[in-house]
Chains A and B, each alone.
Chain A
Amino acid sequence: MRLGIVRGHLTLTPAVESYRGRTLVVVEPVTMENLRAKNGKGGGKALIAIDELGAAEGQMVAFTEGREASNPFWPTPVPVDAYCSLIVDSIDVRQ
């Protein structure tokens, strides 16, 4: 999983069938430097992930990419590239 900060939510109209009714969040991946500095900055290339956990803006999430991102919807095939697996409560990292 990669770590990123939720920067916003999306509503798609119209959308392909499998995205209807799903919450989509804009996630900005965080670099190690910003993670250590705890400055709330991201620094990575933004992407869109499906979020079923209800992450709010500014919260850090860990998201899965690749085929495993569609596992939670198994066996229904959903075209997912990124899926929020967890919402971070706290991270502590060696300086």
Chain B
Amino acid sequence: MFLARIEGTVVATVKHPTLDGCRFLVAQRLEADGSAAAEPIAVVDWLGAARGATVMVSTDGDIAREKLGNNTPARMVVVGIVDSAQSPAGGIA
């Protein structure tokens, strides 16, 4: 798992059939000091994460397979929305 910040949304009508009805968000992976990665990622979101929210993303793929079926190419899924992160050095979130 890693932390990421939601930056926006992706709209896609042409997609793999198992992804129908899924919500795709654009996010940037966060480093320990709170800086964001250069490249965005597109994650599947069932929790309704808002723009600007810090979320935890799982790259395990089992969660996606469980919900979307064995043929789904989905891998990165929002598994939790971060309320608060304690980091004394004032890094993340």
**Which A residues contact B (CB, under 8 angstroms)?**
1-3, 29-33, 35, 44, 52-54, 62, 64-69, 71-72, 74, 83, 85-94
The B contact surface, by secondary structure, is loop
Q: Closest CB-CB distance, A48 to chain B, in whole Å?
A: 16
Known A-B contacts A3-B40, A3-B42, A44-B39; the reply to A92 vs B75 at CB < 8 A is no
Q: Closest CB-CB distance, B92 to chain A, in whole Å?
A: 18
Q: Closest CB-CB distance, A87 to chain B, in whole Å?
A: 4
Known A-B contacts A87-B15, A91-B9, A92-B8; the reply to A31 vs B71 at CB < 8 A is no
Instruction: Check A88 against B10 for contact (C-beta < 8 Å).
Output: yes
